[in-house]
């Protein structure tokens, strides 16, 4: 009895690809053999010189590449930090921008500007300070209020400065019993 043997079926595309791959690998190996032969024909002194030169070039190229990558990273970090600083500066100036836009809108609509005492009272109310006593005295405005939070008080006073008010007198005292802050100030535009 005769055994049947299986023959692998190769498609034309597979045989063409393997032939091309085989031809390329033959070319690479012949080139590599040629370089190896030339290397062995060189005197030992020239082989050492080429090896040292190759190591130097690799270190120089690697060092320069590392330096340029480091410089690019430093520039990128500096740019990022500048953008973050600009963002926080703009965020801090948002109170000025919004108030200038709203005051420009009221003058565009033809409404009369609010008196200084009313503007300060509205600003304090918007900052979370209720029951502030605000009195206009000529070009000056006197204000007095009490609030338990230092953060709210400093924010309100900061907004007054952002609006262009200058403190001619400022007195802040903390009540020892309930820890609230009493503020008395005189401001001028």
The per-residue pLDDT for 54 is: 93
Domains and CATH numbers, the chain: 14-89 (no CATH), 115-188 (3.30.70.60)
Nearest one of 141, 107, 139 to 121, comparing CA atoms: 141
Q: What is the pLDDT along the chain (189 residues), one digit of tens a residue?
A: 566 666 665 555 555 566 777 888 999 999 999 999 999 999 999 999 999 999 999 999 999 999 999 999 999 999 999 998 888 888 777 766 655 555 554 444 444 467 888 888 888 888 888 888 888 888 888 889 888 888 888 888 888 888 888 888 888 888 888 888 888 888 887
Which secondary-structure segment (H or E) carries 72? helix 44-92
Distance from first CA to last CA of the chain, Å, rounded? 117
Which secondary-structure segment (H or E) carries 118? helix 116-126
> Quick one: tokens of 25?
């690998």
Query: What whole-number distance in Å separates Cα of residue 109 and Cα of residue 119?
Result: 17
> Quick one: tokens of 158?
């900061």
> Quick one: tokens of 81?
């930090």
């Amino acid at each position: 009895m005769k055994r049947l043997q299986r023959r692998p079926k190769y498609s034309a595309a597979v045989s063409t690809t393997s032939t091309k791959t085989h031809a390329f690998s033959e070319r690479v190996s012949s080139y590599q053999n040629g370089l190896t032969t030339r290397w062995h024909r060189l005197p030992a002194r020239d082989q050492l010189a080429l090896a040292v030169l190759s190591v130097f070039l690799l270190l120089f190229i690697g060092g320069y590449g590392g330096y340029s990558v480091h410089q690019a990273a430093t520039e990128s970090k500096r740019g990022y930090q500048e953008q973050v600083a600009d963002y926080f500066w703009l965020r801090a100036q948002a109170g000025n921008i919004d108030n200038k836009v709203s005051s420009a809108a009221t003058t565009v609509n033809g409404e009369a500007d609010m008196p200084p005492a009313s503007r300060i009272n509205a600003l304090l109310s918007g900052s979370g300070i209720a029951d502030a006593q605000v009195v206009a005295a000529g070009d000056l405005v006197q204000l007095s209020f009490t609030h338990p939070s230092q953060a709210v008080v400093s924010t309100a006073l900061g907004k007054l400065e952002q609006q262009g008010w200058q403190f001619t007198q400022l007195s802040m005292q903390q009540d020892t019993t309930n820890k609230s802050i009493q503020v008395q100030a005189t401001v001028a535009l």
